[in-house]
Amino acid sequence: MARQNISVDQKKEHAVSVRIRDVYKSYGDHLVLKGINLTIEPGEIFAIMGPSGSGKSVLLRQVAGLEIPDQGEIRIDDHAPDLTCMGETRVGMVFQSGALLSSLTVEENVGLFLEEHRLKSREEIRKTVSDKLRTVGLEGVESKYPSELSGGMRKRVSIARALVIEPQLILYDEPTSELDPVSAVTIGQEIYRLKKSMAITSIMVTHDRQLVQGVADRVAVIYDGKIIAVGTPDEVWKSQNPKIRDFLHINFNLDNISL
């Protein structure tokens, strides 16, 4: 592939805003996103919660530019989403499944983008990769294959992979699923540290209530393809909307279980 004219070292030093306006998305006759409106401020950690199947991953894919909405518009600063990072803004994505390539080592997976686009020399790529692995608390796993790692380690590798491009916007789909509680807190702290130390805007889709209360500036609740609440975690937790209460305050109820 031809050498590109951009370098990840020529990074813009500002976090970006994300504006989602009236976004609709369907697959065949299944309408999934039903008019989503959200504005995410530069530097925010913005959480999206909601029941399984409500459209969270679909929404994230539209923001990443992996899919194009049927209607409506998404703007990252003033630009259309573009996960290739060859455009105006650099967007990193941590997929729900991790999405590592099984035939490549950890080092090759994390460095793949830089390697493919020849953005740095081999030696610089090697150094960047181990820096980013250290950032997510992994060291000495460069030569391992994904199948040799635990689910939590794979998740961290996929976060490191998103970080190598020095993203201005990072999209996390379930960053703490598959993690034990201690590792989940570590990742939450890492998301917070990234926000503090770099010009980075974060959107995280998650079911992890502790993560949202711990690090999110604001949270939106999506229900059946529509946003039904947006606010600080405290505001949303106090909501009297039964759909939100049922979802956020769910606890075991064994009283009505019959045999």
Ligand X SMILES: Nc1ncnc2c1ncn2[C@@H]1O[C@H](COP(=O)(O)OP(=O)(O)OP(=O)(O)O)[C@@H](O)[C@H]1O
Q: Which residues bind ligand X (CB under 6 A)?
A: 27, 30, 32, 50, 52-58, 96
Helix residue ranges per DSSP H, 41-172: 56-64, 106-116, 122-135, 151-163
Q: Minimum Å distance from CB 158 to ligand X?
A: 16
Least Å from the CB of residue 51 to Mg ion: 10
Whether the Cβ atoms of residue 56 and residue 205 lie closer than 8 Å to each other: yes
Q: How far is the CB of 8 from Mg ion (least distance, A)?
A: 28
* CA pair distance 259, 256, nearest whole angstrom: 10
Q: How far is the CB of 178 from ligand X (least distance, A)?
A: 13
Of positions 17, 26, 37, 57, contacts Mg ion by CB under 5 A: 57
**One-letter amino acid of 219:** V
Give the strands of the sheet with 18-27, arranged side by side. Answer: 30-40, 18-27, 71-76
Nearer to ligand X (CB atom), residue 61 or residue 195: 61
53 makes contact, choosing from ligand X, Mg ion, none, with CB < 5 to 8 Å by partner type, with ligand X
239 binds, among Mg ion, ligand X, none (CB under 5 to 8 A by kind): none
- Name the minimum Å distance from CB 30 to ligand X: 6
State whether the Cα torsion 214-13-21-26 is positive or negative. Answer: negative
C-alpha angle 39-214-51 in degrees, rounded to nearest 5: 60
User: Among 34-42, 54-62, 86-94, 228-236, which window interacts with Mg ion (CB under 5 A)?
Assistant: 54-62
Here's the x/- map for Mg ion, 77-106, by CB under 5 A: it reads as ------------------------------
> Counting Cβ atoms within 10 Å, is residue 167 exposed (0-12), middle (13-18) or buried (19+)?
buried
Beta bridge partners of 92: 170
Judged by CB, which is closer to ligand X: 50, or 175? 50
Partner touching 31 among Mg ion, ligand X, none, CB below 5 to 8 Å by kind:
none
Contact positions toward Mg ion, by CB under 5 A?
A: 57
